[in-house]
Amino acid sequence: RAKAWGRGTLCVFEPEMDTHLRARLEMEQDLRQALAQDQFELAYQPIFSVVTGALTGFEALLRWNHPRRGLVDPSIFVPLTEDSRSIVEIGAFAMRQAVADIAALPGDLKVAVNLSPVQLAFGDIIGTVEAALRDSGLPPERLECEITETALFESEQTSLAVLQRLRDLGVRIVLDDFGTGYSSLSRLRLLPIDKIKIDRSFVLDATEGSASAAIIEAVTVLTGRLGIATVAEGIETEEQWALLARTSCAEAQGFLLGRPLPIAEAAALARAGAGVPVALARRFSPPA
Ligand code: C2E
Ligand code: MG
Ligand code: MG
Ligand code: MG
């Protein structure tokens, strides 16, 4: 970076920048050992049917248990692993672990695994998924691969072809963080996707009569016509949940409904045949 400033330029970093840069370098260093040292774990956030209130599955979310820093957020370390391409191996670990964990649960719950565009461009994601399904016995239709709208928008034809091959295996493709990128509705029709996940930012602003509520309603109706399912993320309030229940959105996840959980707690939910928390479930009981 300093080079780009030209010859003879003295490169002086601000003290905070120095600290920031050093922290980043240190983290990149530590990331190289992290996989071998078993420092990655998955948290499972429950996803529920908006129609019946039943648990439909979990989203697997990567956690880095750093020996000194404690739990490091994926928003911090995933970009670093993409720069170094180590996300290919880390992502393969997440895929194998998530598929094996969910296959061991009772019922026919689904698991959603996040994919980095780097895994589509450089790794053997098809081989990884095939092996994970074969070794665990999980039926392919119970695996959902999430890819963000921005990543998909920027993807080359080859990455789209990889997604299509995953679909050919029977795996479902979900467009994550929908609404934050630039997919026109006409382009949606051309993408190899089965479901869209409406971004938290729309849910956040979704109050009665708001523009965001109108957008959610319109998107669920339109995607429904295209044969694409919808799930909403980031449900935090009862108002948002009630509002969502009046749209055609099929599924929802968020802190109100359930936090990301260690596998043991996720398994307990699954064994209990859990639905949405009781107070929210009342709306599903038949009218008196
Ligand atoms: P995402 O795929 O959109 O995942 C949802 C994120 O929103 C999660 O953050 C989840 O904890 C958080 N969330 C869920 N419900 C609520 C809510 O009601 N309110 C709020 N404020 N947040 C909520 P997390 O676990 O920190 O993950 C952040 C991002 O990191 C994910 O966004 C995903 O893009 C990425 N990520 C996570 N795991 C993996 C992975 O295995 N591979 C790759 N490539 N990326 C991952
Ligand atoms: Mg996701
Ligand atoms: Mg998301
Ligand atoms: Mg998001």
The three-state (H, E, C) secondary structure of 162-203, written as one string = HHHHHHHCCCEEEEEEECCCCCCHHHHCCCCCCEEEECHHHH
Nearest to 232 by CA among 208, 207, 213, 249: 249
What's the gap in Å between 197 CA and the centre of ligand 2? 8
pLDDT at 5: 38
CA distance 54 to 45: 14
Q: Which segment of 78-82, 187-191, 194-198 scores lowest on mean pLDDT?
A: 187-191
ipTM of the complex: 0.98
239-278 pLDDT per residue, tens: 999 999 889 899 999 999 999 999 999 999 999 987 887 6
Average pLDDT for 93-109: 97
Mean pLDDT on 80-102: 97
What integer pLDDT is reported at residue 17 of this predicted model? Answer: 66
Query: What is the Å distance from ligand 4's center to 197 Cα?
Result: 9
Confidence of residue 8 (pLDDT cuts 50, 70, 90): very low
Q: Mean pLDDT, the chain, as a whole number?
A: 89
Pick from 13-22, 71-80, 200-209, 269-278: least confident: 13-22
Looking at residue 256, what is its pLDDT?
Answer: 94
Ligand 1 atom, smallest distance to 94 CA: 41
Please list every protein residue whose CB sits less than 6 Å from any atom of ligand 1: 45, 61-62, 73-75, 78, 87, 91, 94, 114-116, 146, 176-177, 200, 233-236, 253-255, 260
CA distance 190 to 196: 14
For residues 57-72, give the mean pLDDT: 95
Does residue 187 have a pLDDT over 50? Answer: yes
Q: If you average pLDDT over residues 126-136, what whole number do you get?
A: 98
Spatial separation of the C-alpha atoms in residues 106 and 34, rounded to whole Å: 31
What's residue 1's pLDDT? 33
| Mean pLDDT calculated for residue range 165-178 | 96
Q: What six digits make up the tokens of 224?
A: 């429904």
